[in-house]
Amino acid sequence: MESDVEKLLAATRSDDPAVAVDALALLRTVRDRLDATERALIESARAGGTSWSRIATALGLRTRQAAEQRFLRLTDTGGTRAVTPTRAARHRQQSVDNLHGPAITALRAATRALLRRVEADDAWPTRFTRAALARHTIALAAEAPPGALFSLATSALDDLPATGLPPTIAEAADRVRAELSHQNSTKD
């Protein structure tokens, strides 16, 4: 079976305009998947403590600012691409999370890891009836204030099926469950 990249390369050798147009449509799909993959890899590296400078080097960029701007381009839905406000918002969230203790930080990290796995799954929208709802709720939970994080993460897990998830997603969901369980045990 011919890969998408092989199809794109073959299209560059064709003089048929219809082949070129079809390839452009395929290119957009491939680019979207690559962007989502790059974003997930950067988020994973940052969650693991990797510096922006090291990420820049891995991406072949000259500065940490260039790496951060690239990440913003990949995550920007509002069209702002402004590094300073986004960085400030991240620092505010980290500060608030730190005030609530390591359990919130761990739950947020687990929720973000689950979101990365869901977003990397091309088949996610068709896996089960409430897949889109679950993805949306996980995304909300990943960025929610600490007070809402617990409730949204719980709701997201309630939307997931009990069986049939890919192993990587099931493992990430189990990690969120474990962190929620830890949250419940520390409330008493």
91 and 67: one domain?
A: no
Please report the pLDDT score of residue 59 as a whole number: 95
Q: Are 104 and 168 within one domain?
A: yes
Q: Let me know whether 100 and 179 are in one domain.
A: yes
Residue 78 has pLDDT above 60, yes or no: no
- Single residue among 81, 104, 133 that ends a domain in this structure: 81
Nearest to 141, CA basis, from 183, 107, 187: 107
The whole domain housing 39 covers 1-81
Count of structural domains, the chain: 2
Tell me the H-state helices in the chain: 4-12, 17-47, 52-59, 64-75, 83-100, 102-120, 131-143, 146-159, 167-187
CA distances from 155 to 18, 97, 136 (A): 46, 20, 11
Work out whether the CA dihedral 31, 34, 35, 36 comes out positive or negative: positive
Place of tokens 């960029």: 61
Q: Are residues 132 and 163 in the same domain?
A: yes
In a domain, 135, yes or no: yes
pLDDT single digits (tens) 97-140: 777 778 888 898 899 899 988 988 888 999 998 999 999 999 99
Return the higher-pLDDT residue of 139 and 83.
Answer: 139
Separation CA 49–CA 54 (nearest Å): 10
pLDDT, tens digit, 9 for 90 and up, residues 18-40: 999 999 999 998 888 888 888 88
Residue 36 lies in a domain: yes
The reply to whether 72 and 48 lie within a common domain is yes
- How many CB atoms are located within 10 Å of the residue 65 CB? 13
Q: Determine, yes or no, domain membership for 2.
A: yes
pLDDT band at 154 (very low <50, low <70, confident <90, very high): very high
The pLDDT value given to residue 86: 65
pLDDT band at 175 (very low <50, low <70, confident <90, very high): very high
The one-character DSSP state at 161 is: -
